[in-house]
Structure 1
Amino acid sequence: MARQLPHEGDGKYLVYAGTGTDLIFNHGVELPGFASFPLLEKPETRTILAGQMRDLVDLAKEMNIGCILDAPTWMANVDRAAPLGYDAERLIDVNKDAVSLMEDVRRAAGRDDILVSACIGPRYDPYADVSPISVEDARHYHRAQLDSLKETSVDLVTAYTFNRPSEAAGCILAAKDVELQIIMSLVVETDGCLADGTKLVDAIDQIDTATNSAALFFMVNCAHPTHFAGAIDNHPRIRGIVANASSCSHAELDEAEELDEGDPHQLGKQMAEVMRNNPSIQVFGGCCGTDMRHLRSMARAIDHPT
Structure 2
Amino acid sequence: MSHYRDNLPQLKDTLFLTDGGLETTLVFHKGMELPYFAAFDLLRHDAGVARLRRYYEAYIEITRHRDLGFLLEAPTWRANADWRVKLGYDARTLAAANRRAIDLMLELRDHHETPESPMVISGNLGPRGDGYQATARMSAAEARRYHAHQIETFADTAADMVAAFTLTYVDEAIGIVQAAREAAIPVAISFTLETDGRIPAGETLAGAIAHTDHETDGYAAYYMINCAHPTHFMHLLQEEGEWRERTRGLRANASKRSHAELDESPDLDAGNPGELGLEYRRIREWLPRLSVLGGCCGTDHRHLGAICAACT
For each residue in 1:39-78, what CA deviation from the matched residue of structure 2 results, as whole angstroms up to 9, or x when unmatched? Answer: 0112112111111111111111112210101111111001
List alignment gaps of at least 5 residues for structure 2. none
Equivalenced residues, count = 303
What is the root-mean-square deviation in Å for CA atoms of aligned residues? 1.3
Report how far residue 106 of structure 1 moved.
0.9
Note if contact 1:193-1:231 (Cα within 8 Å) is conserved in structure 2.
no
User: 1:160 aligns to what SS in structure 2?
Assistant: strand
> Residue 248 in 1 paired to residue 257 in 2?
yes
User: 1:118 aligns to what SS in structure 2?
Assistant: strand
> Residue 75 in 1 paired to residue 78 in 2?
yes
Report how far residue 128 of structure 1 moved.
4.2
Report how far residue 118 of structure 1 moved.
1.2
Report how far residue 96 of structure 1 moved.
0.2
User: 1:123 aligns to what SS in structure 2?
Assistant: coil
Note if contact 1:201-1:231 (Cα within 8 Å) is conserved in structure 2.
no
Report how far residue 272 of structure 1 moved.
0.7
> Residue 192 in 1 paired to residue 197 in 2?
yes
Q: Which moved more, 1:227-236 or 1:99-108?
A: 227-236
Letter in 2 for 1:131: A
For each residue in 1:161-215, what CA deviation from the matched residue of structure 2 results, as whole angstroms up to 9, or x when unmatched? Answer: 1111010000010011011110101111000001122111111000000111010
Report how far residue 89 of structure 1 moved.
1.4
Pairing partner for 2:188 from 151, 160, 183: 183
Pairing partner for 1:124 from 122, 129, 138: 129
User: 2:255 aligns to what SS in structure 1?
Assistant: coil
Percent identity between the aligned chains?
38
User: For residues 136-155 of structure 1, what are the structure 2 equivalents within 5 Å?
Assistant: 136-155=141-160
Q: Counterparts of 2:59 and 2:253 in 1: how far apart (Å)?
A: 17
> Residue 207 in 1 paired to residue 208 in 2?
no
User: 2:235 aligns to what SS in structure 1?
Assistant: coil
User: For residues 20-59 of structure 1, what are the structure 2 equivalents within 5 Å?
Assistant: 20-59=23-62
Q: Counterparts of 1:183 and 1:228 in 2: how far apart (Å)?
A: 20
Q: Counterparts of 2:296 and 2:134 in 1: how far apart (Å)?
A: 22
User: 1:115 aligns to what SS in structure 2?
Assistant: strand
User: 1:223 aligns to what SS in structure 2?
Assistant: coil
Pairing partner for 2:277 from 257, 261, 268: 268
Letter in 2 for 1:2: H
Note if contact 2:76-2:123 (Cα within 8 Å) is conserved in structure 1.
yes
Letter in 1 for 2:293: F
Q: Counterparts of 1:126 and 1:204 in 2: how far apart (Å)?
A: 18
List alignment gaps of at least 5 residues for structure 1. none
Q: Counterparts of 1:182 and 1:70 in 2: how far apart (Å)?
A: 12
User: 1:259 aligns to what SS in structure 2?
Assistant: coil
Q: Which ranges of 4 or more aligned residues in structure 1 deviate by more than 4 Å?
A: none
User: 1:158 aligns to what SS in structure 2?
Assistant: strand
Could you tell me which residue of structure 2 aligns to residue 2 of structure 1? 3
User: 1:218 aligns to what SS in structure 2?
Assistant: strand
Note if contact 1:199-1:231 (Cα within 8 Å) is conserved in structure 2.
no
Q: Counterparts of 1:27 and 1:256 in 2: how far apart (Å)?
A: 18
Change (3 A) 1:190 1:6: farther
Could you tell me which residue of structure 2 aligns to residue 172 of structure 1? 177
Pairing partner for 1:114 from 99, 119, 126: 119
Could you tell me which residue of structure 1 aligns to residue 247 of structure 2? 238
Note if contact 2:132-2:192 (Cα within 8 Å) is conserved in structure 1.
no
Could you tell me which residue of structure 1 aligns to residue 293 of structure 2? 284
> Residue 158 in 1 paired to residue 174 in 2?
no
Q: Counterparts of 1:19 and 1:51 in 2: how far apart (Å)?
A: 12
Report how far residue 282 of structure 1 moved.
0.7
